[in-house]
Structures are given as structure tokens and as C-alpha cells.
Structure 1
Amino acid sequence: MTDGRLDLKYSVDSIKLGHTYRQELGDLDELCQSIRTIGLLHPIVISPDGLLISGRRRLEAVKRLRWRQVPVWIATHISDRLRTVMAVQHENTIRKDLTPLEAAELYAELKSLYAEEAARRQASTRFGSREHGAVDSTAPQDARVQAARAITGRDSHGMLEQVLELKRLVDSDDMPEWLRTQTEQALAELNADGKVHGRYLAITTAKASHELEDVATDPAAPEPARHTAQTELEHLAAIDHPATAAREARRATRKVRMSAQGWSDIEPSTRDALAARRLATLITQHYGWWDTVSPQAVAEHLTDEQWNMLTAFHEASTTFMRAAIDARAALDRRDGDMPAAS
């Protein structure tokens, strides 16, 4: 909200009107009367070069009142591309020129501008009449809907939010490389053919399944969470319908997180004991692995990445065991110093 400035005396004739989804302005008589009585409570929003971003009804009202100057909020951080799109006079031109990725990026930028304006309106209404404040603005509307209609000519915010979510997944540091590659491929394909929803469902289901698999195979996870994750994975594997699978995957990940969080209030000493037992279980499961493969085969066939992981495992295990041996010896000494029970 700080990337802008207020101009109380901006020339009405200098405000340029580009494409706007809002062709029907409705009855302006009440708005004109409100502005005539108490003034314009919420400044019109424009770009630095005077292009109207938000406030079409307010602009038409002050023109009816023959105002020569009007308060405006100049959004100084608007991108050149968004400014160009907003200046286009014909909606069909916008739809033809924008790819889904570009439309989503511009939608996100414009949504932020609309949200900032809504916050300014809310702040100013605290100091004015609530009734007049409602008249001196367009009807309340979700910033997502406004932005989507301004960019695509229709309420496509659901599709645009899905594209943005896929972009966020690609940029996330927590994504496994195989899933990042799949998501990048999905973005490239949807950008070419415009088909978003099916690919979004597939990627989000794959992401949720990956999270469930991580928990199901994590020895450090609480046993109830691991069991729940495995059960949910088996449930998802039996679902063929993409939308149902995506919905169930989201539900499953929430359920598993809640199951894991249920252990957060356990006494620390109890958690430590459980963690130690999980380690013992893991060692038991893999005990004797050194008899199943020869050192020569490991040296010959491991990739550099795998070799580095093995050597890191060796170093960390050695350090861990030294500390554990010292701790065990300290416990033995403590127990030896304790007086015998009478």
C-alpha cells in the first residue's frame, strides 16, 4: 500500500479509459448525490500516466457533476505489461494475445492493486459515514473476481489461481525434482493449449500422494500418522476420477497432519523414548545389510551423488555413535554410584 501517492487535484480530462469489463454502470443518481453532498470518499485509482485502473462509476459520476479535478490514487508500481493490457480497447484482442501464464501473472498483479484499494476504502470509511461510503463506491466484490474480469473478460479467477499455484510449486524449494519436472511440463502444455484444470488436478494429487508417502515411510513419524498415511494412500489408489482423487488427496493430507500434530503435546521424555524405539526398529529392519552387497560393488557402481551420500552417512553415524557411547558410559557410571536398595 506504500507504492503509490495521492493527488487531490488531478485533471478529470487527463484520465484515460481503456478496456473495462464493466459496461453497465447502473443508476448513478444516488452516487452523484452522495458526491455532491459529502465529496468523493474513495479516490479513483489510476496508473502513473493516467490510465484508469479502478473507479469507473466514480469517474462517470464526477463527469456528470462537471468536476474538472478529482482526487486520485496513483499506483506507481504497476507493470508496463499490465498497463498495456488495461489500455486495450477491445476485449477480444486481450483474449487472443494473452497466454494462460501471462494472464495469471497480470491477474495476480491487478488483484493486489484491487485489494490495496479495498484496504484504503476500509480505512477511510472508519472516519466517514458508513451509508455514504457504501454509495460512493461500486458494490462490494471479491478482488479476485474484479481482476479476472478485467484481464480475461469473465470470472476466470478459479482457473487463474490454479495456474498461479502451479507456478508456486515450481518455485518451491520443497518440491522433489521429479514433481518439479512434471509441473514445469504441465505449465508448458497448458500455456500452449489453454487446458488448465485437468493438469492442475493431476499435479496437486501427485503432490499430496508424495507427502503421504513421505509420512508413511518415515521412521521418525508418529505411528498413528504413518498408519493413517498408508491407509489413505491405498484409498487414493482405488480412485479413478481426477476431481475426486484431488479432493480426497487434500482431505488425506489434512488428516495426516492433524494426526501427527496430535503428538505435539506429549512429554519430551516420552517423545525421546519413542524416537529411540523407532531407531531400534529401523536398525532391526536393515540389520546385516553389509552382508548383502560387496564393498567392491559399491565402489564400482555408485554414482558420485550416491557415494557422497554414503560417505556423509558414515561420518554422521560415526559422530552419532561416539556421542551415544559416551552417554551410555555416563549412565553406567551414574548407576554404579547409586547405593544398592536395602
Structure 2
Amino acid sequence: MPEQPAIEATGLEKAYGEVRVLRGVDLQVARGSVFSLLGPNGAGKTTTVRILTTLLPADAGRALVAGYDVREQRSLVRRSISLTGQDTAIDELQTGEENLRMMGRLCRLPRRRAAARATELLDQFDLTESGSRRVGTYSGGMRRRLDLAASLIVRPEVLFLDEPTTGLDPRSRQQVWEVVTDLTRSGVTIFLTTQYLEEADRLADQIAVVDGGRIVAQGTAAQLKQQVAGHRLDLVAADRRAFDALTGHLGARVVAPVPERLTFSVATDGTANHVRAVLDEIDPARRAVARFTVHSATLDDVFLALTGHTTTQQEKETAGV
């Protein structure tokens, strides 16, 4: 018998009044893996997390987390998971160590075990030297690491990370990534929502792209990129007249045109022969194209091709969806 997925959701729907936030979301997450839900603000990522963590009921559909039904077996689900949201949930008036000891006691650990676990986590998250300081003196990166440590007082089967590195500097983000990698090696399943393309590309075994409350694509980072193209040819037109002529010639093959900057892109396999062929096709007189560059397709290219906009485009969120 195949191993039961850590998370399995079918037909999840959710609406706030007339606004349909989720429109039939299906997900399956393997145990001991990192699964990333990628999408812009308002796409439905946080609503999905809230349903899977029993904080919000779905209007329709069914979901199992750690083998338990999120609607019928809420208490069992909650014993099996941990959630780190977009905002830290720690007491700034206490020290880092006091926060972790308190969380240990709330998780019903004996006093000595709670103290020992706090010491272990401070060391794991590189917070030992600052453990005796009030959290109010911590940097943003230190607070995020402490918040992650608090969510691991009792090791969960599934850890939900809802945009855990938003606002962090590159060094702090790298430290969080290292922690996530270590956790999956120990068998913890990670459900990660993020707007950072590099984060999903770096960490996730499987990625689902959500837009408008629907899953529009799913697979490994490499598989998703292959749906668009192995590489992309970025071009800058010599002037607006050349831009109009070039994009008009390419038609539906044009990706991400920006008339104000005279830039646009087209898919390519990355070989010199194909790049030459494209340039010869669209600019045989060698006057219309001012500059060009070739690079590998990114997850942003995937999202752009599938939805018509990038994951960094800011959209108004409805009820924190």
C-alpha cells in the first residue's frame, strides 16, 4: 500500500459574501517533503492554510491533514501540526528563553523538559547568546527565528509556514531556509506559502501555482519552467516604432511586453542557433533590436505565462486571503 499523503484536499471552496476566494482547490502533499503554494496577494494562499489548520471551515470540499479530517477531527489535526503565520506570536516583554519555556508548559511538557527543550531550540536557531535578552530588543530576523523555534517545541508531523520570510533581510532569510531544510531531513512535512520565487525554487519538492482561487499549475520547479520554455530571450527595441513592429510580428509569442521601456521577451531553447534564428526572423535588417539577453526561465515566467501577471504584482487582498 502506498504511504498516505501528509495533506490531501479535494474540491475546497470558500467565499466571503459575493467574493469567491477558493474555487475547487485540490492538493496532495507527500510526507517528509516541502510543498510550496505560490501566488500573489489575494490568490487564496492564506485561506487555504486556515482551512487546512482548522482555523476556518471550508464551504465545500474535504481535507485530510496527517490522516485526520480537518472538519470532523479538528483536535487530532491540531495535535499533529504547527503553524507559523505572517506575524510573530511571541511576548516581547519576556526573554527568548522565557518564551520557549512558556510554550513548552502550554504544550504540557514537564517543567524540566520544557527548560531543556528551550535550550535545544535556542542552540538550533542560533539564539543562545540572545536567549536571556528581552524579545523587544531582537531584530526582525531574530524574532522570526524565535517564532519558528516556538512552533517546534513539540515536533509536528506537518509544519505550516505562511510567508515566513516576508520582510527579512537576505541573511535572515537564508537562516530560515537552512532550518526548513534540516526539518525535512528529520521527516517533518513543510507546507510553505510564499511570494518569493527564489524561496519556492530553492526549497520546494513540489509547487502549486494558485491564482484567483484556483490551482493553475502544479509540479516540480523544473517541470513548471518547462511548461513555459527552457530559456527566455529578452529584447529591447530601438524605438517605439520598432517595438510595435516587432511585437506585432511575434503576436501571441510575445511575453511580458512593456511599451514604456520598449522591452519584451520570447521563448527560446537557449541555443545559439535558435537565438540567431529568432533575431534573423524579427530583425533581418539588424536595426530594430537594440539589445538582447538570454536567461533561464524562472517561476515568475511560469506565473506570467499562466495568469497574465507576475507574482510580485500587488493585488488588493480580500479578508486576508
Tell me the TM-score normalised to structure 2 length.
0.27
Return the index of the structure with the highest Cα Rg. Answer: 1
Q: Which has the higher helix share?
A: 1
Q: Which has the higher strand share?
A: 2
Tell me the TM-score normalised to structure 1 length.
0.26
